[in-house]
Each structure stands twice: as C-alpha cells, then as structure tokens.
Amino acid sequence: MLFTRKTAAEKRQALHALMDDGRLHQFPGAFNPLCAQLIERKGFPGVYISGAVLSADLCLPDIGIATLSEFADRGRQIGRATDLPTIIDIDTGFGEPMSAARTVRLMEEAGISGCHIEDQRMPKRCGHLDGKDLVGVEEMVQKISASSGARLDKSFCLIARSDARAVEGLDKAIDRMKAYVDAGADMIFPEALADEKEFEAVRSAIKVPLLANMTEFGKSRLLNRKDLENLGYNLVIYPVTTLRLAMGEVDRGLEVLLRDGDQTGILDRMQHRKDLYDLLRYEEYNRYDQNLFNFRVGDTPP
C-alpha cells in the first residue's frame, strides 16, 4: 500500500525509455511481491514475472496448466508492490488470437508494463527443453496483431518470443521474428540461442529491441551483461534465479533442522527479522497508522 508512487502508465513509459537508451538492462525474476521489492531495493531497473516460476510456485510443471486468472492475479500482486516496470510471461496467450488479445488486455488492466507471448503449440513446455512444437507463422502473426490492437495504452510493451531456433533452425527462426515485428511486436525474445554468434545474428537481422534469457542450466551459455550489451541487446531476464536461490536454501535448511533438531546452526543464512521488517517498511506503516488514529472517541452527543 505504501510502496508505490508511480502509476502504471508511468512505469510503462519508464520501460520504453529503457528500451530506447542503447544500454542493456537486467530484469531479475520475482517469485512474489516481497522479492520484487527487494529487486527494487537493490537498484535493478525492472522486474520479470516468469510463467515457469508462477507454475512451480503452484507445484505445477511449466506445460500450460496454470490458468489465465492465476497469471493475472500474480502479475497484479507483484506489479503493485514496486515502482519498477514489470514484464510478465503469458505463455501462448491462453488460446486463439481473440483469447490472446483478452489476455493482453487483462495484463494491462493489472498494471503490468509489458508481456511476452510465444509461438509454441499447447501443451507448451520450458523453452530450454527438447520436443517443442510450434504454431504456424500465420497463426502467431494473427495472435500478435490481435494482441497489439487490444491494447488501450500503446505504451504497454508487446514482446514476441520465438522458440523456433530449436525446432526449425536459426534462419527460419529469424524469418519468424521479422514477421512478428511486422505484425506489431515492440520487442523480440529469441529463446534458447546457443552462443554469441547466434545472438549476434539475431541482432543483425532484427531492428526492434531484443530480450535475452539467461536462465540457468539451459541451452544458452550464460553471458555476462557486458557481453550482451556489446551484442546490442536491450533487456536480459533471469527468470528462475531468485526461486532457485530460495528453494536451494530451504532444502539445505530443512536438512539441518531434521538432522540437528533446531535451526541454531543456520541462523546466519537467514534473512534477519530486522531486515525483513525494513523491507516491509514496518515503521512507515506504523507512522501512517498513528497519523490516522491519533484521536480518542468521546461520548456521542445527544
């Protein structure tokens, strides 16, 4: 409630400014609103909301089981907790072109700054797994065109993700990306590129801003932000990094609790209560409450 000072429109304008400044910007993934607030506190310029993380948080695999309402609810929860622009993954758009258009409108209404839609066929899967199947170029073009036209705020960033590199090869993937730009995509997200040469080839062929995915344990080599900036990319996302860090510590901490019988030996690996309260702005809420309730209720006059 006390976190944000910027409107959704201002956040979208900030995202466009980042896209146009010729530099690379890092958007870590947030698995909940508290994580988004920490990303802002650390000084990052934006927040990413991963469909894979959203699904995992519901204990579901990343195969399109999580629903549109679950995506919109989580996007709204995270987006309103930060003044940073937020980008959300909407998988395949939750249906045909009209459904994809409705999805984009709902994300806009939820206060999100932008979203990406991919060209996989349902049931989709993680972009760094084998065995993906694609919709035809014409169908994806229709989805992008419908989604672009559905926006009330033209500053809402529509990003087209192509998974074609692993299915059809790089050249055909680039042809798809060009078609997606012509259909109205503001940014292109080439998924699962193999190496710097492929990132460079996409940059040479595509004239709109580009998004790079540096997810761990995937098909792409993890490139440093300086490398990606030199390659001409505009945004880089780290979709699952924060969730993997958190769950790794939870796993190790539970083992210690089971083995030792108490948590004394792992206190130094935890976020301290005072740091959590600082992140939550406990004192600010307290001052706000005292300013509201600084009176006494007397007898009701006759």
Which of 16, 125, 151, 161 is an active site residue? 161
Partnered with residue 161 across adjacent β-strands are 118, 189
SS3 call for 213:
strand
Which of 12, 25, 76, 89 is an active site residue? 89
Partnered with residue 212 across adjacent β-strands are 236
Which of 48, 180, 233, 238 is an active site residue? 48
116 labelled catalytic? yes
Which of 12, 74, 91, 244 is an active site residue? 91
CB 107 within 8 A of CB 86: no
Q: CA 136 to CA 141: how far, in whole Å?
A: 9
CB atoms within 10 A of CB 41: 11
233 labelled catalytic? no
Which of 35, 157, 213, 233 is an active site residue? 213
Cβ-based neighbours of 177, under 8 Å, separated by 6 or more: 160, 162, 188, 190, 202, 205, 206
Which of 126, 157, 186, 233 is an active site residue? 126
b/e string for 198-217 if b means 16 or more Cβ within 10 A?
bbebbbebbebbbbbbbbee
Which of 116, 125, 176, 244 is an active site residue? 116
Which of 62, 119, 163, 186 is an active site residue? 62
118 labelled catalytic? yes
89 labelled catalytic? yes
Which of 40, 108, 118, 186 is an active site residue? 118
48 labelled catalytic? yes
62 labelled catalytic? yes
SS3 call for 25:
strand
| Catalytically annotated residues | 48, 62, 89, 91, 116, 118, 126, 161, 191, 213
